[in-house]
Amino acid sequence: MTKSILPNSTIGIIGGGQLGQMMAFEAKAMGYKVIILDPQENCSAAQVSDDQIVANYDDLEKLIELAKRCDVLTYEFENVDAKAINEVKKYTQVPQGTKALSVTQNRVSEKDFIEQSGFQTVPHVVIKNIFEYHRGIEKLTAPVILKTIRGGYDGKGQILIEDPDDVCYADIEELLMQGPCMLEKKINLKKEVSVVVSANSDGQTSIFPIIENVHRHNILHLSTCPAQLSEQASQHIYQVGETLAKELELVGTMCIEFFVSDDDEVFVNEIAPRPHNSGHLTIEACNISQFNSHIRGVCNLPMPEVELFKPALMVNLLGQHLENAKAELNLHPEWNFHDYGKDAIKENRKMGHITVLSDNLTQAKQAIENNPIWRV
């Protein structure tokens, strides 16, 4: 049994975006002190924390300073340098370790890991140049999606190739200049779902009900819970969640994204070794949120069984939505409104979200879809 890190101890969080902010809210509510490391002064997470170290994520000296000042260190995003984490481990506990980080930072090792664990990924090939690109297209047949192997998020670093005779080679060359890429068969999606799992250092887990996700322009738009799935698909997805948590020696929260094809086949898309946008609805809809379970995990507190109190829907507020949503906030008592307090409003930047609890999800969804706020 690993010792628990109790309230009044200090938690250091690398990364100060909305995920760090929601982790900090939970930690503060439980009585922990929180220090954020982020290059942006007064970032989202720092606004609700005790202190901030303003530094780049790869500034080893500052990371060591953070480590020395806290009892436990965690991170809110996957592009933390695993080498730096190993270095700061000398000064404080980093229970999340680096296995989940290093496996998921790279689409190739991520897909290999999923397959080695016995689960299905979409057909894919790794390509290093235009010659291999053509071979890949022949093998997979269009439509395909070209993706960078590292650093992609919200569809960034991706090119959809519907018709190989009508592609912009300059765009493809540009992605390839960044290093090897992955060519993936585009699946006819019936739906996309995700499952959030958390674990503590003693190996206890909390697994959240499956969430159904709708993306727009590759950015998450709407999540609903519970997901509408066959019993068989659900069982399979929970099994993937439990198995991958064990294999990755998970501590804290992770989320696994899935594709469900037209003929009900389940493919594992990718793994986020941190809380996930689709899990935001757990804040209001469940007995514990994905952030609460993350803090429990890294502090090695007991992991409760998750209960969904009420069906829920979460819709993102991007830069183009935020001000309009605020303007009609007083019309919507049903909205649980979240604004991350980011300084710059940019198109397609995640600025906040709204969660609605409802016994009639179809109706709640309709209300969002009919609202002009989300038509842009």
CB of 113 to ligand ADP, least distance (A): 15
Using CB under 5 A as the binding rule, the residues of this chain from 254 to 283 that contact Mg ion are: 257
CB of 161 to ligand ADP, least distance (A): 11
Applying CB under 6 A, what is the total number of residues that bind ligand ADP? 17
Count Cα atoms within 13 angstroms, Cβ side, for 71. Answer: 16
Using CB under 6 A as the binding rule, the residues of this chain from 186 to 205 that contact ligand ADP are: 186-187, 189, 192
Asked if residue 110 binds ligand ADP (CB under 6 A), the reply is no
Pairwise CA distance, residues 335 & 212, whole Å: 19
Interface with ligand ADP (CB under 6 A), residue from 7, 39, 151, 155:
155
Asked if residue 310 binds ligand ADP (CB under 6 A), the reply is no
Give which of 319, 290, 323, 113 is closest to 196, Cα–Cα.
290
Q: What would the two tokens of residue 99 be?
A: 């296995």
Residue with smaller CB distance to ligand ADP, 90 or 215: 215
CB of 92 to Mg ion, least distance (A): 30
Residue with smaller CB distance to Mg ion, 26 or 270: 270
- 286 DSSP 8-state letter: B
Q: What would the two tokens of residue 211 be?
A: 């969430």
Strands of the sheet with 51-54, listed across from one edge: 51-54, 33-38, 10-14, 72-75
Pairwise CA distance, residues 30 & 9, whole Å: 10
Do 364 and 353 contact (CB within 8 A), yes or no?
no
CB of 77 to ligand ADP, least distance (A): 12
Give which of 172, 88, 178 is closest to 136, Cα–Cα.
172
CA-atom Rg of the chain in angstroms: 21
Peptide bond into 209 cis (omega under 30): no
Using CB under 6 A as the binding rule, the residues of this chain from 280 to 299 that contact ligand ADP are: none
Q: What would the two tokens of residue 241 be?
A: 């969640």
Pairwise CA distance, residues 321 & 118, whole Å: 41
Asked if residue 218 binds ligand ADP (CB under 6 A), the reply is yes
* Binding partner of 261, given Mg ion, ligand ADP, none, CB within 5-8 angstroms per partner class: none
Q: Which pairs with CB-CB distance under 8 Å and at least 24 residues apart come from 299-302?
A: 299/4, 299/5, 299/6, 299/9, 299/11, 299/32, 299/72, 299/200, 300/2, 300/3, 300/4, 300/5, 300/95, 300/200, 300/201, 300/202, 301/4, 301/200, 302/200, 302/204
Residue with smaller CB distance to ligand ADP, 35 or 140: 140
* Binding partner of 329, given ligand ADP, Mg ion, none, CB within 5-8 angstroms per partner class: none
Residue with smaller CB distance to Mg ion, 38 or 257: 257
Interface with ligand ADP (CB under 6 A), residue from 109, 139, 153, 230:
153
Residue with smaller CB distance to Mg ion, 33 or 147: 147
* Binding partner of 189, given Mg ion, ligand ADP, none, CB within 5-8 angstroms per partner class: ligand ADP
Residue with smaller CB distance to Mg ion, 156 or 310: 156
CB of 29 to ligand ADP, least distance (A): 29
By the criterion CB under 5 A, which residues form the site for Mg ion?
257
By the criterion CB under 6 A, which residues form the site for ligand ADP?
122, 145, 152-155, 184-187, 189, 192, 215, 218, 257, 269-270
